[in-house]
Amino acid sequence: RALSSRTVQRARPFLRPFSSTVSQPGYVGATQGAPRMTTDPVPKISMLLELRDKPGALHEVLRYFWKYDLNITRLESRPKTLNALGEARFDFFVDFESPSKNSTQVSSLLASLESMTTKAMILDEKDVNWFPRHLSELDLIANRTLDAGADLESDHPGFNDQVYRDRRGELATVAQEYVWNESIPRIDYTKDEVATWAAVWDRMEGLLEKHACSEYKSSFEAMKKHCGYSRENIPQQQDITDYLRDKTGFRMRPVAGLLSSRDFLAGLAFRTFFSTQYIRHHSMPLYTPEPDICHELLGHAPMFADQDFADFSQEIGLASLGASDEDVQKLAWCYWHSVEFGLCKEDGEYKAYGAGLLSSFGELEYACADHRPAGGTEERPELKPWDPAVAGVQEFPITTYQPIYFVAESLNDAKSKMRSFCEGLKKPFLSRHNPNTDSIWVDRPV
């Protein structure tokens, strides 16, 4: 069994003072070289190695540091959960002295380690993108909307309606002025707005009963009781937040419009869902080209009352913090194929847990209806088992129904597959959320 951090840090705390002396200048570690008596600190390189959990795995790897005369100053291990194939792995963080990461010794070391590790990388702090560390720092990203929140495209149903445009401007301002520790302003929705909400409600209610997953249905019922969900009333974000915070610690936060994937996913790391407050144009109550309150409150909000789903969403958010652009895209595509369009199995039937489905009467039916081969020429979507490695690179259309849906065995299965996938991403540090301080804890300096 590979050395576990528990063995080192808990069972033998007395070893700690000794291990720290290893990094003192002048100490001769496991190198063959002559003792160095200089007091100049030698530059250090940090490396992440992922190893299979088997006897001797660490020993095999460490030999090469010795072989290339690289002096190790710190060694830390961290067990990982089983990967998709059920294999146990360990991450090892190794610091060693070297004047440059481009030296021949370091290149030789990397080349040698390639074949005996499942991942070997130099951790370069300059590569880490900035990310919020505390809930209050969501204020710094909340207004970086891609559109201004109120500028409508010429093909938007409300483009020629000045009253609608003014209202959009007003609600955009409410969102832009919101500060993280205030309570969320209550919106006094107009009669017309409530009528649009009711039109969507009437079309969705029966379909949700038939095709929504059981977690959604029970939360939805509870939210009718506790947060003002009804066909005559558009619920308020603060009431939903109060309810969700008791259930799963999730909260809503107003946003004026679309955020970049990176900014939007960062909110999820803090169990925060950026939610619009405006409603679609009344001329087309069953269509919206952008997220609106019907999508956020009917599609997303009830799902965040489920613990597995809440954890699943936060998992994507935590993985996105400081990730490369490439990995953020993968996570955004996973989000799309799950949080927006995910299906799960329930007693042999396909049920929706994705908000894009739960708020679209046409597509909900299309995605969940009988999946036996159609008799005629009717188009049928393809179903694939939920696998983040596949979903993360699966392209999708945004203006038509999805040609492919990913099906999870359960929300718990969706979560554990997501967790293993996130652990496999090349990220030089691990981030966790501390709900007591609303901050992100990172396991090494970045």
Q: Is 2 in the site for ligand HBI (CB under 6 A)?
A: no
CB 355 → Fe ion: shortest distance, Å?
5
Q: Which residue number, 131 or 274, has a Cβ lying nearer to Fe ion?
A: 274
Alpha-carbon span 408 to 263, nearest angstrom: 26
- Convert residues 305-344 into a mask of x (bound to ligand HBI by CB under 6 A) and - (unbound): ---------------------------x--xx--------
Tokens standing for residue 145? 């909307």
Query: Which residue reads 């095709």 in tokens?
Result: 211
Catalytic residue among 156, 300, 337, 433: 300
Q: Based on the shown chain and the rule CB under 6 A, indicate whether residue 264 belongs to the binding site for ligand HBI.
A: yes
Beta bridge partners of 79: 90
Q: Which stretch binds Fe ion (CB under 5 A): 176-184, 288-296, 411-419, 426-434?
A: 288-296
Answer yes or no whether residue 164 interacts with ligand HBI by CB under 6 A. Answer: no
Indicate if 103 belongs to the active site.
no
Catalytic residue (choose from 296, 340, 363, 423)? 340
Compare residues 276 and 416 and give the one whose CB is closer to Fe ion. Answer: 276
Q: Does 255 bind ligand HBI (CB under 6 A)?
A: yes
Q: How far apart are the C-alpha atoms of 411 and 434, rounded to whole Å?
A: 23
Judged by CB under 6 A, the residue of 213, 265, 352, 357 near ligand HBI is 265
Closest approach of ligand HBI to the CB of residue 79, in Å: 30
Q: Residue count at the site for ligand HBI (CB under 6 A)? A: 11
Q: What is the DSSP string of 260-303?
A: -HHHHHHHHHTTEEEE------TT-TT--SS--HHIIIIIIGGG
Name which of 61 and 305 has its Cβ closer to Fe ion.
Answer: 305
In angstroms, the Cα distances linking 96 to 91, 109, 235, 236, 446 are: 16, 12, 56, 54, 17
Q: Cβ distance 319 to 331 under 8 Å? A: yes
HSE on the CB side for 151, CA within 13 Å? 5
First to last CA, the chain: 30
Q: Out of 77, 320, 338, 359, which one is annotated catalytic?
A: 359
The contact set with ligand HBI (CB under 6 A) reads: 255, 258-259, 261, 264-265, 274, 291, 332, 335-336
